[in-house]
């Protein structure tokens, strides 16, 4: 059996991973943007562990037999991000200085920046997700370092945009596959 035939036996895990990422990012970004207070964080944590974390890691593992290094790296990494975020908020948030939290967010921004570079020959929708996400991380990191609430709020709004883009690509992959034609365009690869 050829590699293409083997890959054809596996479903595309990207819509699952993108949806898990999008939903969790949307919920947290609503808090970051100031739409809700930190009292809503418990719902974010539950979704971060179950959908943003676990479902993305499953999607990343499903990318392995497909030979998709980018998909594996992205989904497993951001799934682990959500788990680390949930564990931090639940157990460690009062034990870590804000400046160090800024470094945590900044380094996720660095990772996301080079992942964005990896999308430059992919569909435009994927490029836009990673572009918006690294801007989100950098705004949130700058907010932690400076204490400027406006940067944190801006990071929340760019996070909302990131989530919408990820929902769109997830929907496009599901709907286009179901209709066996392009219903929702994702932008041709470069």
Categorise residue 130: left if φ over 0, alpha if ψ from -120 to 50, beta otherwise: alpha
Q: How far apart are CA 57 and CA 159, in angstroms?
A: 20
How many Å apart are CA 140 and CA 152, to the nearest integer?
5
Structure tokens given for 49: 């562990």
Q: Choose among 104, 98, 68: nearest CA to 85.
A: 104
134 and 109 Cβ atoms separated by less than 8 Å:
yes
Q: Give the predicted TM-score (pTM) of the model.
A: 0.93
- Walk along the chain (190 residues) and give the pLDDT tens digit of each residue: 556 655 567 899 999 999 999 999 999 999 999 999 999 999 999 999 999 999 999 999 999 999 999 999 999 999 999 999 999 999 998 999 999 999 999 999 999 999 999 999 999 999 999 999 999 999 999 999 999 999 999 999 999 999 999 999 999 999 999 999 999 999 988 6
> What residue ranges do the domains of the chain occupy?
12-179
């Amino acid at each position: 059996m050829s590699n293409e035939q083997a890959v054809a036996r596996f479903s595309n895990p990207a819509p699952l991973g993108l949806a898990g990422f999008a939903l969790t990012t949307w919920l947290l970004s609503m808090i970051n943007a100031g739409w809700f207070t930190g009292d809503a964080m418990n719902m974010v944590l539950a979704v971060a562990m179950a959908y943003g974390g676990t479902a993305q890691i499953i999607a990343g593992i499903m990318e392995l037999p497909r030979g998709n290094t980018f998909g594996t790296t992205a989904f497993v990494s951001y799934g682990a991000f959500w788990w680390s975020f949930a564990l931090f908020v639940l157990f460690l948030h009062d034990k870590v200085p804000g400046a160090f939290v800024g470094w945590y967010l900044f380094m996720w921004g660095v990772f996301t920046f080079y992942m964005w570079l990896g999308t430059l020959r992919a569909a435009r929708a994927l490029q836009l997700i990673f572009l918006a996400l690294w801007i989100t991380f950098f705004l949130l990191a700058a907010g932690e370092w400076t204490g400027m609430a406006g940067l944190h709020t801006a990071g929340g709004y760019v996070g909302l945009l990131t989530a919408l883009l990820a929902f769109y690509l997830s929907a496009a992959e599901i709907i286009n596959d179901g209709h066996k034609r392009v219903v929702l365009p994702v932008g041709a690869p470069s």
